[in-house]
Structure 1
Amino acid sequence: MDLLNSTCYQEGRWILWESGITVVTLLNRNRWNLNVEATLSFQRQWQAPLRIFISEHKWKDGEPTEEDAIMILNQGDDSSILVPVVFMFVPGMRVVVNQNIFQGLKLVNGASYGVLDVILDKAYPGHRVNADTILHFGPPAGILLAAESTRDFHFVGMPAGAILLTPISTRIECQRKRPWQQTNVTRRGLPCAAAFACTDYKVQSRTLDRVALELRGTRTTTIDGQAVPTQCDPYSLYVQLSRCRSLDGIMLISKARERDFVGNKVPENMVAAEERLESLSEATIREAESRDWTGK
């Protein structure tokens, strides 16, 4: 742990988005804010135009109050809300998809793509904010994405190696965790978000050259009268620390704590569940190997 702190943590150090770093954070609100900051940094770095698309909202019972509208516009995407409230587009930026769209074409939840271009919807014309920024009060008609997995795609009327992602509608229902919401809302927009900052779930299986980690729990607890983050989930701890090839590519957002490492074990019920799954898997394999598949 001392090696991790001495190598990867420096108090007061800023996140250098220009380096191509990816931030892994457990809290969606942190992710929303970091992606806005990173997108603006990406725009400045490449001196590119910025288009801001506000997703379309429809309330079940007609027009909302001003307070209701403001509150829902502060609610970004998460595991149950697949469409972000705002999509900020800069040519060349990367996004991560929030829903399985075309599984056979690998346009799936968690997949990362570069954005080639945006297709505007004439129903939502742009309003110029300044020389480099245009605001749209509605989603685009679609965006063109590209990745290694799309390299051999050739769709009629589209650039080679590109795939199209179009808006979807998602229902935001009243829930206990949103006590301020008084009526159900339908949001329509792109099911993707900027990939500068991601949750630990979205970076699973990926290998990153530079990564900033938040080794913390998602809740807070009181210790000696002070609110401190809870212990980091052991699965999240593994996922985060195994994303980078070396310690030199890791930046810690906050100092690593002993309580996040010492005694941080997988719960016994999860160990038992994994052992049962392993046993069932072995039994299935044995049965398959002993079966006569010739049909004789």
Structure 2
Amino acid sequence: TTKAFRFPNIPPGTVLIPSQKHSVETHDRKTCQRVGLPCTPGFALTDFKSQGKNLENVILGLYGRADRRQDGTWDKCEFTCLYVQLSRCKTLQGIQLLKPVSVGDFVAIGPGQGMVEAISKLDVLSRQTISRWKQAHPEER
């Protein structure tokens, strides 16, 4: 990258990719040349948009939805987003991370408060439904 160098009109951190020339001989023994960048085109997807896809290689940023906190640190990734991102790639070898993660990053991730409250509410509703059904159908116990 250009991080340690200064080039006019090129921002620091720019990755310089030199072009390459490729020659191919045609069926009538003529040579065809092409000059291009040695890159494979890629694309970016959100975790939501990637659901249901199986990808050979992925580069993941396992951080939260906000860009950054006031102190410059990244938010933690929600556990559902983490699952979706990590499960899109067919192999572990096909996953690359934009930043290192620690075991603590994974252990600290859990359902958000809204999810915990929703699960608790569903648990209460489930118990109430079962209780009402048993009262309405005592012969089916």
Counterpart amino acid of 2:81? S
Structure 1 counterpart of 2:82, from 234, 237, 249: 237
The ranges of structure 1 where at least 4 consecutive aligned residues each deviate by more than 6 angstroms after the TM superposition are none
Provide the rounded CA distance (Å) in 2 between the counterparts of 1:202 and 1:218: 14
Aligned to 1:248: 93
Give the corresponding residue for 1:264. Answer: 109
| Equivalent residue pairs, number | 90
Deviations 1:42-76 (A, max 9, x none): x8569xxxxxxxxxxxxxxxxxxxxxxxxxxxxxx
Higher helix share: 2
1:246-287 C-alpha deviation (Å, 9 max, x unpaired): 21111111111445312211024314425729x78xx8xxxx
Give the 5 Å matches for 1:181-196.
196=43
Matched, 1:217 2:64: yes
TM-score (norm 2): 0.50
Which one scores higher on RCO, CA 8 angstroms, separation ≥ 6?
Answer: 1
Partner deviation per Cα, 1:216-248 (whole Å, 9 max, x = no partner):
1132225xxx41111112111111011112211
Gaps of 5+ in 2: 1-14, 16-35, 130-141
Contact in 2 for aligned 1:231/1:259 (Cα 8 Å): no
CA RMSD of aligned residues (A): 3.4
**Which structure's residues are more often strand, by fraction?**
1
Structure 1: stretches of 5+ with no match in the other structure? 1-13, 15-42, 47-92, 94-194, 284-296
| 2:73 counterpart SS class | strand
**Is the 1:216–1:260 Cα contact (8 Å) retained in structure 2?**
no
- Which has the higher Rg, Structure 1 or Structure 2? 2
